Amino acid sequence: MSDFDVNEMVRRPGAWMDGTGEEGEIVLSSRVRIARNLHGHRFTHNCDGAELASILGSSLEAAAETRALARARVAAMGEISTIDRQLLAERHLVSRDFVSNSSHRGLIFTPDESLGLMINEEDHLRIQGFAPGFELADAFRRANDLDDQLAPALEFAYHERLGYLTACPTNVGTGMRVSVLIHLPGLVHSKEIHKLLESLRKLNHAARGLYGEGSDVMGNFFQLSNSAALGTAEDVMVKNLREMVVKIIAYERRAREMLFRKAQRLLEDKVWRAYGLLRYSRSVSTKEALSLISAVRLGVGAGLVNDVPVRTLNELLVYIQPAHLQKLKGTTMDAQERDAARAEYIREALARASG
């Protein structure tokens, strides 16, 4: 393992952004997260600094001995800048809480960002496996392999009846959350999204914003995941979410077809206006940019826009965020300066994509 290099990271997009994988135009990425706690230690919210430091040290030692993390990068959250911590959140490698309270916390992740390990978040360990597109099985395999490799060196807190013990009761059992990042403009514009969200809730699944729990839904991007882990086997969780997402993709496709039948000219105008604004605007906020990217992505899915790869649109979602823009420019910027830098970055990215 080696120390985290933020400049190296900015130069290379994560593998989950590459636009490959099943249903890559609708499903951006798949993630499996496994929570584990160490036997004999209190949960992190009850730990003092000395106990958190002990958990961090033993976890780092165990991680260094695994095959999965042999070439991984290590970020000591308390020793890097606020903007670097924010950049890690923008890459979906850490939670927003992990950024705001960084003492005695560490992150380990592979160079391609397909595997990560948060230490001392809500639970002692949060293993995360990522995959591009609708590839839940690949994400599960990565996370599960690391879980198996850590187990011999770390005794996990386990109850014979309840399963793995976690700080949040909804994670007790397997400690696993399975999720996809998905784009659903058809269901949003057809006003069917609220029915879908209510159905998910009744089936013990949840929909959140682009950056998970507590984040706003912007640009018609949602994180869909299971909301309980007790009493369900890991492979069944993966199977259940996969079956549900297959149905949601079918609903989304039907909603798009109906919208184009009823209002084709209006939708085509929306797509091309968005494309024009992204190609030529000189200032754009994050929220507006996400909305415009969503419209262009809809145009790509409908076959209207043919010169913008899905990979470019995926990368834009990350690289237009505040910390990435400031790292790319090498300077701290206020909101107005970021809006100008965002518009410039988008113009250049689309120009490169179209050749």
Among 106-115, 228-237, 241-250, 284-293, the minimum mean pLDDT is found in 228-237
| CA triple 131-120-80, angle to 5 deg | 80
Residue 240 counted as domain residue? no
Residue 75 counted as domain residue? yes
Q: Based on the domain organization, do 54 and 149 belong to the same domain?
A: yes
pLDDT digits (tens, 9 = 90+) for 57-114: 999 999 999 999 999 999 999 999 999 999 999 999 999 888 887 789 999 999 999 9
pLDDT at 96: 84
pLDDT at 208: 86
Q: Based on the domain organization, do 9 and 125 belong to the same domain?
A: yes
Q: Based on the domain organization, do 275 and 148 belong to the same domain?
A: no
Residue 254 counted as domain residue? no
Q: Please, which residues have CB within 8 angstroms of residue 337's CB and are 6 or more apart in sequence? A: none
- Which has more confidence, 354 or 102? 354
113: containing domain? 2-180
Asked which of 121, 151, 180 is the last residue of a domain, the reply is: 180
Q: Based on the domain organization, do 172 and 272 belong to the same domain?
A: no
**pLDDT exceeds cutoff 60 at 29:** yes
Asked which of 129, 152, 180 is the last residue of a domain, the reply is: 180
Task: Compute the distance between CA of residue 36 and CA of residue 147 in angstroms, rounded to an integer.
Answer: 9
Residue 241 counted as domain residue? no
Q: What percent of the chain has pLDDT over 90?
A: 84
Residue 216 counted as domain residue? no
Confidence band of 183 (pLDDT split at 50, 70, 90) = very high
- Residue 145's nearest CA partner among 163, 131, 158, 127 is 127
Q: Based on the domain organization, do 167 and 285 belong to the same domain?
A: no
Q: Which two tokens stand for residue 176?
A: 């696993």
86 HSE (CA, 13 A, CB side): 12
**pLDDT exceeds cutoff 80 at 355:** no
Q: Based on the domain organization, do 294 and 167 belong to the same domain?
A: no
Residues 32 and 128 sit within 8 Å (Cβ to Cβ): yes
Average pLDDT over the chain reads: 94
The answer to whether the pTM exceeds 0.85 is: yes
Q: Based on the domain organization, do 69 and 172 belong to the same domain?
A: yes
Residue 238 counted as domain residue? no
- Residue 82: give its domain's CATH number: 3.30.590.10
Residue 201 counted as domain residue? no
Residue 197 counted as domain residue? no
Q: Based on the domain organization, do 149 and 270 belong to the same domain?
A: no
pLDDT at 175: 95
Structural domains counted in the chain: 2
**pLDDT exceeds cutoff 80 at 215:** no
Q: Based on the domain organization, do 43 and 160 belong to the same domain?
A: yes
Q: Based on the domain organization, do 120 and 267 belong to the same domain?
A: no
Asked which of 127, 157, 180 is the last residue of a domain, the reply is: 180
Residue with the two structure tokens 């518009």: 343
